[in-house]
Amino acid sequence: MFKFNFTNEDLGLEDDANASTQAMADLSVSDTAEEKVDDSKSEQLQSCEEILPTCLIKGFPETLQAEPVQAKIPVDLFRRTLADVKYQLAQEDTLEDESQSKLLDLVDTSDLVKGVYEGGFKTWECSVDLVEYLAANQLTEQWRDKQVLELGCGSALPGLYALKSNDTVHVDFQDYNRQVITHITIPNSLLNLAFEPSVGGEGEPFCISPDNDDASSSSLQENEDEEDEQEYPEADIPSDKLPAALDALQTRSRFFAGDWHAFPSTCGKTYDVILSSETIYSPSSIPVLINTIKDTLAKPDGVAYIAAKTIYFGVGGGTLTFREQLLKARDKQGDRFKLDARLEQECKAAEAELDRLTTELSELQKELGLASEADADAAVDNHIQQLHDYNDIKDVAQVLLSKLAAFEGASLKEIYNDFDIPDE
| Domain ranges (residues) in the chain | 2-341, 381-418
pLDDT of residue 227: 42
pLDDT of residue 111: 64
pLDDT of residue 225: 46
Q: What's the pLDDT tens digit per position in 336-391? A: 776 655 566 676 777 788 788 888 888 887 877 776 666 667 777 888 888 888 88
Positive or negative, the CA dihedral 279, 282, 283, 288 is: negative
Q: For the chain, report the end-to-end CA distance as a whole number of angstroms.
A: 50
DSSP assignment letter at 56 = G
Q: Are strands 170-175 and 255-258 parallel, antiparallel or unpaired?
A: parallel
pLDDT of residue 330: 83
Q: Which fold has domain 2-341?
A: Rossmann fold (3.40.50)
pLDDT of residue 357: 83
**Which residues in the chain land under pLDDT 50?**
7, 9-45, 95, 203, 208-228
- What pTM does this model have? 0.70
pLDDT of residue 44: 43
pLDDT of residue 217: 38
In 3D space, the residue among 120, 114, 118, 121 whose CA is nearest the CA of residue 83 turns out to be 121
Burial status of residue 369 (CB atoms within 10 A of its CB: 0-12, 13-18, 19 or more): exposed
pLDDT of residue 338: 63
